[in-house]
Amino acid sequence: MSVIAPKFKLSGFIQSLLDNIFWILLLFVLIGLPAVFMILIVIPLPVLDGELLTPFLALSFLANPTRILPVIHAFMTTDIFRVMAFPGFGFAALLAASVIFAERKMMAKLQLRVGPFYCGKFEGILQLMGDGLKLMSKEIIIPAKADKPIFWAAPVLFVATAAAFVALIPVAPGWVVADIDLGLLAVFAVIGFFPIITILSAWSANSKYPFIGGIRALFQMVSFEIPLILSLLGVVMVTGTLNLSEITASQSNFPWIIFLPIGAIVFFITMLAELERIPFDLPEAESEIVAGWLTELSGMLYGLVQFGSYLKLYAFAALFVVLFLGGWNGPMIVPAIPEQILTEGIEMGPITLTVDGLQSLLGNTITQEMLNGTLWFVLKTAGVIFFIILPRGVFPRVRVDILLNLGWTKLIGLCFINIFIALGLLYAGVLGPGGLQ
Amino acid sequence: MTTELPADIQSPSSETQIDKPSSNWLPPGLALQKVDERIMTLNVGPQHPGSGHMRLIVQIDGDYIVACDPDPGYVHRGEEKMAEYRNYITNIPHLERPVIHDSCNILYPYVLGVEELLGIEVPERAKYVRVIAAELNRCIYIMYWLAIYGIFLGHSTMFMWPTGDRELLIDLMEKMTGARVTHSHFIPGGVRNDLPANFEEVCLRQVNYFEKRIKEYAAVFYDNPILISRTQNTGVLSRQDAIRLGVTGSVLRASGIDFDVRKKEPYDVYDELDIQSIVMKEGDAYARSKIPWLDMMDSCNIIRQALQKMPKSGSVRVKLKPNPKGKGFDTVYKRVESGRGSLGCYIVSDGKPEPYRLKLSVPSFRNLIALPYLLKGELLGNMPSVYWSLNYWPVEADR
C-alpha cells in the first residue's frame, strides 16, 4: 500500500476514469453535437466539389483539413461568429478575464505581496477559473422581502448591457458587430442603462445598505454622464461623424489625443467614475456601506455583476482607444503570409501538402490588415487598462460632496475648453479639409 | 474643572428622544423609536466591515449623520474580575489579552503597580529593556492601527504596507521575548529574559530601516490630496471639548494639548531620554491620523537613545518569592502612555497573594466617548475616517 495515498484502490481508480469518460461522452452527445449542428444550420452552406455541404456530410469532413477549411471560413463570415466569438462577446470576455488576472498581479506587486500563486502551474493563472467555480457552486440567497423578479433580472441585464456596449466597438477594419452610423450615440444610450439597472438591483433588494449604495451610484453616474458626453463632442466635431469605424479610420495619421488632450483627460476621469473604480468607488465603499448595491447579491448573481463590470471596463478602455488613440491604426508589424504557401502549398521534405481553402480564408477573412489591427488594438487597450487599474494602488476613496463638485463644476468647465480648442483647430484649418488630417 | 458640557455639544439622543415606558425597556437599537420619516437608522456593526467588534447606531438624514450612539461591549471578557482570582504573577498572561498587539504597554502599569505594592527595586538594565520593548510595541500597535485606517479610507496599499513592515518589529520582539504577539515579557521585578546576544546591533539596523520605510508613507498616504480633502476639517475636536470630554493620547495631542505621560509623569527611565511629544492644533481627523505616524518616528529616536544609554551588562530581574503578597491593605495607581494614550491601572491589595480589586482605566473607552459629538452633522462618508482616527481599539474598551 502506498504511503502517499493510503486509501488507493485500483478498482476505485478505474471506476473514476470510467466515470469521467461517461461524463465526457454525455456532454459531447448532449451539448457538442447539437452545437455543431446548429452552427451548420445557421451558416450559408458552401458547395464543395459540385455537391451541397450538408451537416451530415460536414461530420465526415472532420478528419480532412482541406475539406473543413471552407466550413470554418463560411462560419467566420456569419453574424453568429461575430457576436459570439471574435469582435464580440468571446473576445471581450477573454480580455476581461485577463484584465482581472493582470489587476490582481499588478496590485500584488505594488503592495509588496505575491498575489494569486498556487492555482495553475504559472503564477496562479487559473485563479479566476477557481473563483468562478466557487461562485457557481455557492448558494444564491435572496432577501425575504426582495422584489424577486427584478432582483434576479438585474445582474443578467447588467451583463447584457455590458455586452451590448462591447458590440459597438470596432476592433479591426471591418470587424465590428454592429457597424451603425450613429455608433457614438448608441454608446451614450447604452451607458445610460447602467444607472437604471443599478438602482433597480439596489431598490429591489429592499435592504438599507444596497439602497444607499444604489442612490450613490445613481448620483455618480448621472452627474458624470454629462462631462462624459461633452468630452467626446470635440472628437465628433473634428471628425464630423458618429460612426466609430469612421472615427477610427480618420486617425490614420495622428490620434486625436495629440490635438484634444483635455478631452482625453476628462474622458478618462469620467470613465473611472462610470466604472466605479477607485478613487470613485463610492457605491461599493466597504467601510461605510458594506458592499454598497452589491451587498445582498450572492453566488453567481454577484459573479455576473463582477463579470459585467469587467466587460464594461474593457469596453470603456476600448472606447478610449477608438476615440483618442487611433484604434487599430499602427505600423504594419505582422509579416505577410508567403504567397508560396497559398498557391503551391507547404513543402515538407519530399511531401507537398496543399490546402485548398487556405487562400480564400487568408485572403478574405483573416487578412494581414485584420491581424495587425487587432494586435495594435489589443496593445493599446492593455495600456489604457493599466492606467485604469493604477489609481487603485495609490488613491483612497473620495467623498460624495467632493465627487459631485468635481463632476458638475471642474470637469464640465474643462469640457467646454476642449470644445473651444476643437473649434479653434477647425477654423484655423489645422484639421478638416486641406489640413493635417 | 466644570463637569458640564459646552452649550453647542449636547447629548446625541436628546433630539430624538425615546418615548418608552420604563417597565418595557429594550437595549438601544432594538427599542422602537419615534423618529422623523426622513431619518434612517443604520446598525453599523457588529457584522460590518467598518465597525470593529462593536456597534454604532447611526441615524442619517440623507447623507448627514443626525445622531450616533456607540454600543460597545460585544467582547467583554471580565479581565478585571478574573484578576481577583489569580496571583500577581499568573495575572500577567491574561491581562495583556485586551490589546495583544500592544501587550507590553497594557502590562506596564500593572507591573509598575505590583512593584510598588511588593516594594521591589528594578535593576537599571531591566528598565531600559522595558522601555525598548514598550516603544517597539507602540510602533507595532500603530502600524496595525494605520493599516486599518488605510483600508477604512479605501486605500488598499496602505493596508498592505504597514502590515508588511510591521513584521520587522515583530521579528525583533520575537528575538527578544520568544513570542510574536503576546509576549508576557514584563514581570514584577524586571523582564522575563535578558536580551539575546547581538541584539543591540540587529535592533538598531531594523529600527533604522523601519524609520526609512515609514517616511515613505508620506508620499502615498499623508500627502495624498484626496486623503487631505477627505480628512481635513472633518470631525473637529476643539481644545476645550478635548479637555472636557477627557480624551487622551494622540486625540488629545491633536487638539493642541501637550500631554504625554512619558513626559509629565516619567516612569522607569523615561526622564533620562529625550521625548518630543508631537502636538498639532487643528484637532481634525487629519491631525489625529498624522500624530501616531509621527509618534512612531519619535519612538525610533527613543529606542536609539535607550540602546545607547543602556548598561551593557547586569541583571534584568529580581528573584521573587513564590506567591508574593502585599503588606496589608494598600492601594496603588500607576499609568503609562500606551499607543492609544494614558493607560492606568488601579490595584487594591488586602495582604493576600491575589489583588482584592484591579481596575484598568483604558484610553480606548475614553476616546470613544468623543465619537457621538464628533460625528454629529458629518457626512456618512466621514464616519470611518472620524471613527478610526480616535485611536480606538474595541476589545480594550470592553476589557
Contact B153 A287 (CB under 8 A): yes
Nearest neighbour of A208 by CB, restricted to B40, B158, B161:
B40
- For the segment B139-167, the average pLDDT, to the nearest whole number, is 90
Answer yes or no: is B354 within a domain.
yes
Confidence category of residue A27, pLDDT binned at 50, 70, 90: confident
Q: What is the pLDDT of residue B41?
A: 84
Q: What is the pLDDT of residue B45?
A: 77
Single pTM value for the model: 0.81
Question: What is the domain range of residue B248?
Answer: 79-373+380-398
Answer yes or no: is B27 within a domain.
no
Number of domains in chain B: 1
Beta bridge partners of B69: B57
Distance (Å) of CA B193 to CA A242, A250, A379, B129, B366:
77, 77, 60, 10, 34
Contact A286 B154 (CB under 8 A): yes
Q: What CATH number should be reported for the domain holding residue B320?
A: 1.10.645.10
In the block, residue with C-alpha cell 531591566: B126
Q: What is the pLDDT of residue B170?
A: 92
Q: What is the pLDDT of residue B1?
A: 43
Q: Is B100 exposed, middle or buried (0-12, 13-18, 19+ CB in 10 A)?
A: middle
The residue of chain B with its CA nearest to that of A216 is: B63
Q: What is the pLDDT of residue A51?
A: 65
Answer yes or no: is B249 within a domain.
yes
DSSP string, B135-191: HHHHHHHHHHHHHHHHHHTT-SHHHHHHHHHHHHHHHHHHHHHS-SS----EETTEE
Note the pLDDT tens digit of each residue in A103-124.
888 888 888 888 888 877 777 7
Contact B155 A396 (CB under 8 A): yes
- For the segment B103-117, the average pLDDT, to the nearest whole number, is 90
Q: Is the pLDDT of residue B10 over 50?
A: no
Is the CB of residue A327 less than 8 Å from the CB of residue A251? yes
Contact B227 A288 (CB under 8 A): no
Q: Is the pLDDT of residue A346 over 70?
A: no
Q: Which of residues 280-339 of A touch B (CB under 8 A)?
A: 281-282, 285-290
Contact A289 B380 (CB under 8 A): yes
Note the pLDDT tens digit of each residue in A377-423.
899 998 999 899 888 888 888 888 888 888 888 888 999 999 998 88
Q: Is the pLDDT of residue B133 over 80?
A: yes
Q: Is the pLDDT of residue B16 over 70?
A: no
**Contacts across the A-B interface (CB distance below 8 Å):** 84
Is the CB of residue B183 less than 8 Å from the CB of residue B312? no
Note the pLDDT tens digit of each residue in B65-103.
888 888 888 888 888 899 899 888 888 988 888 888 888
Answer yes or no: is B18 within a domain.
no
In the block, residue with C-alpha cell 439597472: A197
Is the CB of residue B61 less than 8 Å from the CB of residue B73? no
Answer yes or no: is B47 within a domain.
no
Answer yes or no: is B7 within a domain.
no
Answer yes or no: is B300 within a domain.
yes
Q: Which residue, A393, A102, A127, is CA-closest to B160?
A: A393
Q: Is the pLDDT of residue B64 over 60?
A: yes
Can you tell me the distance from the alpha carbon of B282 to that of B276, in angstroms, rounded to the nearest whole number?
18
**pLDDT above 90 covers what percent of chain A?**
4
Q: What is the pLDDT of residue B209?
A: 92
Name the average pLDDT for chain B: 85
Contact A285 B154 (CB under 8 A): yes
Query: Range with the lowest mean pLDDT among A59-63, A267-271, A298-302, B309-313?
Result: A59-63
Measured between beta carbons, the chain B residues lying within 8 angstroms of A286 are 49-50, 151, 154
Name the average pLDDT for chain A: 82
Answer yes or no: is B234 within a domain.
yes
φ and ψ of A221, to 5 deg: -70, -40
Q: Is the dihedral of CA A42, A46, A51, A57 positive or negative?
A: negative
Q: What is the dihedral of CA B158, B159, B164, B168, to 10 degrees?
A: 80
